[in-house]
Structure 1
Amino acid sequence: MRVLLSTYGTRGDVEPLVALAVRLRALGAEVRMCAPPDEEFAHRLAGIGVRLVPLGPPVRELLRGTGLPTAEELSRYRNGLVDSQFEILPSAAEGCDVLVVAGLGQIGARSVAEAAGIGYVYVSYAAVHLPSPHHGPPPRPGWPEPEVTDNLALWELDARNVNAQFAEVLNGHRTAIGLPPVDNVRDHVFTDRPWLAADPVLGRWPQGHDPQGLDVVQTGAWSLPDDRPLPAELVTFLEAGAPPVYLGFGSAHMSPDTARPAVEAIRAQGHRVLVSRGWAELDVIDDRDDCLAIGEVNHQRLFGEVAAVAHHGGAGTTVTAARAGVPQVVVALRMSDNPYWAGRVAALGIGAAPEGPAPGGEALHTAFKTALAPGTRARAKALGAEIRVDGAERAAALLIDTFR
């Protein structure tokens, strides 16, 4: 069996498909992946023996600086990705039995699968990306802010916005390859049976009356065990005192000054600090020995050694911290699923989520005080013991059984 995987985004978008690829290969499937041509993704896929088919420009090109491109730039970028999919995916999918895609950006993928006569599966990493009366759509950078508040009305507006962005370019390509036009681009991409690669303890698909009628297949989060050792300098820092608080924003491009108020709030609680540089290139704010800046390390191993994890609300970081049983402070960017995961952390009582992407010192002080309280620690530890499902293994088995 041959499987083509495809996504476009940062490490949080690519890494779950890496986990799926490893599980599929263990079951005897041949796997190739379309992903951005960033060097770190090429290196990661080479390390697991999976062929990378570059699609689109490097992600770091889009996330340059500390802010997002303008609405006009994003619109051109999104349509350019659709053109690239129709150019690259047909040859990449040759000989494949199924195309598995992650993210709404994969606008052209289902049409390519349809033209090739192969299977197609759409995957979301968070429930908030899929239409439901129980939540509204996530923020989509570059599109108008909605003026309505009803969830179903918000999803209807979201579908119109997706059509306004993509209908012309998608249907132009479909006509060129002999396929009829689609009138609802978003639902066409999602299908009526999308998969949800999110942990059911941390982010279960909401139950109850759903006029959208989606038959969501929730597999659990897709990740791989990581047995890499921690760097010697980091081990020495950990052993030199009480557990520190981890502070990092992953692939998010934020101002380097973002670290200062957070470090000060953590210190005010009597804790040392680990600052993860990430794509924002954060660093320590002074020369005190209670703070250490680190590069990319094994989070699965590190998070079990810290007092709390402060981050931007990425799906991977949220579930890794939750699995480690440590409290979280989520300083969520207003984009994608970041606010959703911030809300889940707060609702489950396993941490705190101050308002806004740049909360002030008082809000951060309160958030870290809440997260580091004994009750929060106890709830985080208890919830961590419940997160055990290997979603990638389950998803791989389901793909083999369905599309062999």
Structure 2
Amino acid sequence: MRVLVSTYGSRGDVEPLVGLAARLRGLGAEVRVCAPPDEAFAHRLAGAGVALTPVGPSARELTKAAPPPSSLPRYAAELIATQFEVLTEAARGCDTMVVTGMMPAAAGALSVAEKLGVPAVSVTFQQLDLPSPHHPPMAYPGWPLPEGVTDNRELWEFNARSVNALFGAALNDNRAAHGLPPVPSVRDYVLGKRPWLASDPVLDPWQPGDLDVVQTGAWLLPDDRPLSAELTAFLEAGEPPVYVGFGSMPMLAAPDLAGVVVDAVRAQGRRVVLGSGWADLGLVEDLADCFVVGEVNQQALFGRVAAVVHHGGAGTTTTAACGGVPQVVVPQRGDQPYWARRVAELGVGAAHDGPVPTFESLSGALRSILEKETSARARALAGKIRTDGAAVAASLLLNA
């Protein structure tokens, strides 16, 4: 069986596909992955024995450029056109497609599947993309949710109109150029009749609503990459440090972010492991109680730290939960405030108030979680997280 997996987005959109691809290959399937051409993505997929077919511009460069909301329709048209250009060839001969990532790219990929007559599954990694009477949608940049409206169904109707206004013309113009009929609702077209939710049911519990949703569990892959000798020596040289990293977030609004977080962690009597990430965090001088890492096995590292401070991506939140480590979530955008709230609700960490940490705010959050009670709850939660989500999804896909 031949499977094409398509995404466009940040590391959090690509990393789960590594787990799915590995499980599919283990069941004898041939897997192709189309994703942004970032070197880190190609390296991770290569580790699972899968080559990357590049599509679109670098996700890191696009994120760091921070295009204004007014440019979203133009970027959407370019992404959709690229999906048609690349995926039409990549998907030939495939038996099925798995589609996730940014809304316009997913709409383009699904249109290619429709054009070729290839069955496709639409996947999201958190429930806020799925219309439900139990929760409101996320707001798109430049399209804030209407004030005073509390009815979730009405908010989801506004969401559908927003998506159409941003991406409808771009999608339908490209579809017309390829002989496909127009789509009346971009969002509903992307979700389809039976979307998959690839998140953990404890961290992200789905309440049945109007959609027939298949929740597989998060797509994780055991990571056996060793930590570097230098990092291992640092970890063994004292008490467990605090890890601070913001993944694919550029953190443009936070001046001297590295200095702020190092001082806040030091104030708790802890050492620091600083993840450079897309914010390019670093130290202006060598400090004996600080260690900077780039690409690193978070599964191995998080099990050896006292706490994790991060941006609240679905993948990082799940990895920290699996590691049984307390978390401080400093949400930047999108679904990240949701994950911050879930961490706080579960009693395994703190939700930072706002996207820009200060010495005072981060110190207070760290003090609240570096307690035995929080650590005990985090360890207990780790035993409840499902680790078979990728295997469940692979079996469902091949048995469909």
TM bracket (short chain) = over 0.9
Shift of 1:36: 0.8
Match of 1:268 in 2: 267
1:39-81 residue CA offsets vs partner (Å, 9 max, x unmatched): 222333334332322211111221226xx21123333112210
Which of 344, 357, 360 is matched with 1:359 structurally?
Answer: 357
SS of 1:83 mapped into structure 2: helix
- Whole-angstrom distance in 1 between the partners of 2:287 and 2:15: 35
Change over 3 Å in CA distance of 1:148–1:21 after alignment to 2: farther
Shift of 1:34: 1.0
1:364-400 residue CA offsets vs partner (Å, 9 max, x unmatched): 2221111112211111110011113311111000000
The answer as to whether partners of 1:272 and 1:290 remain within 8 angstroms in 2 is yes
Match of 1:338 in 2: 336
1:75-111 residue CA offsets vs partner (Å, 9 max, x unmatched): 3112210111122222211111111111223112222
Q: Quick check: 1:401 aligned with 2:399?
A: yes
Match of 1:387 in 2: 385
The answer as to whether partners of 2:140 and 2:162 remain within 8 angstroms in 1 is no
Which of 222, 225, 230 is matched with 2:222 structurally?
Answer: 225
Shift of 1:120: 1.0
Alignment of 1:131-280 (within 5 A): 131-144=131-144, 146-150=146-150, 151-207=152-208, 210=209, 213-255=210-252, 257-280=256-279
Shift of 1:143: 3.7
Change over 3 Å in CA distance of 1:47–1:304 after alignment to 2: closer
Task: Report the residue type matching 1:71 in the other structure.
Answer: P
The answer as to whether partners of 1:74 and 1:142 remain within 8 angstroms in 2 is no
- Whole-angstrom distance in 1 between the partners of 2:259 and 2:329: 16
- Whole-angstrom distance in 2 between the partners of 1:54 and 1:291: 36
Shift of 1:308: 0.3
Shift of 1:134: 1.8
The answer as to whether partners of 2:264 and 2:363 remain within 8 angstroms in 1 is yes
Name which of structure 1's ranges 29-38 and 259-268 shifts more when overlaid on structure 2. 259-268
Task: Report the residue type matching 1:62 in the other structure.
Answer: L
Change over 3 Å in CA distance of 1:149–1:362 after alignment to 2: farther
Shift of 1:287: 4.5
TM-score (norm 1): 0.93
Name which of structure 1's ranges 306-315 and 225-234 shifts more when overlaid on structure 2. 225-234
The answer as to whether partners of 2:73 and 2:167 remain within 8 angstroms in 1 is no
Shift of 1:224: 0.8
Match of 1:9 in 2: 9
- Whole-angstrom distance in 2 between the partners of 1:294 and 1:300: 14
- Whole-angstrom distance in 1 between the partners of 2:52 and 2:283: 36
Task: Report the residue type matching 2:67 in the other structure.
Answer: P
- Whole-angstrom distance in 2 between the partners of 1:376 and 1:58: 39
Q: Quick check: 1:39 aligned with 2:39?
A: yes
- Whole-angstrom distance in 1 between the partners of 2:126 and 2:167: 22
Match of 1:49 in 2: 49
- Whole-angstrom distance in 1 between the partners of 2:48 and 2:240: 33
- Whole-angstrom distance in 2 between the partners of 1:57 and 1:240: 42
Shift of 1:286: 5.2
Shift of 1:178: 3.5
Name which of structure 1's ranges 260-269 and 141-150 shifts more when overlaid on structure 2. 141-150
SS of 1:275 mapped into structure 2: strand
- Whole-angstrom distance in 2 between the partners of 1:37 and 1:179: 28
- Whole-angstrom distance in 2 between the partners of 1:170 and 1:74: 13
- Whole-angstrom distance in 1 between the partners of 2:51 and 2:281: 32
Change over 3 Å in CA distance of 1:190–1:83 after alignment to 2: same
- Whole-angstrom distance in 2 between the partners of 1:394 and 1:227: 21
Task: Quote the sequence identity (%).
Answer: 60
TM-score (norm 2): 0.94
The answer as to whether partners of 1:148 and 1:154 remain within 8 angstroms in 2 is no
Shift of 1:137: 1.6
- Whole-angstrom distance in 2 between the partners of 1:8 and 1:229: 28
Name which of structure 1's ranges 292-301 and 217-226 shifts more when overlaid on structure 2. 292-301
The answer as to whether partners of 1:37 and 1:56 remain within 8 angstroms in 2 is yes
The answer as to whether partners of 1:75 and 1:142 remain within 8 angstroms in 2 is no
Match of 1:63 in 2: 63
1:7-29 residue CA offsets vs partner (Å, 9 max, x unmatched): 01121111111211111111111
Shift of 1:350: 0.4
Match of 1:308 in 2: 307
Match of 1:123 in 2: 123
Change over 3 Å in CA distance of 1:260–1:51 after alignment to 2: same
Change over 3 Å in CA distance of 1:288–1:45 after alignment to 2: closer
Change over 3 Å in CA distance of 1:62–1:146 after alignment to 2: farther
**How many pairs does the alignment contain?**
395
Match of 2:28 in 1: 28
Which of 84, 87, 97 is matched with 2:85 structurally?
Answer: 87
- Whole-angstrom distance in 1 between the partners of 2:177 and 2:281: 47
- Whole-angstrom distance in 2 between the partners of 1:55 and 1:231: 32
Task: Report the residue type matching 1:51 in the other structure.
Answer: A
Gaps of 5+ in 1: none
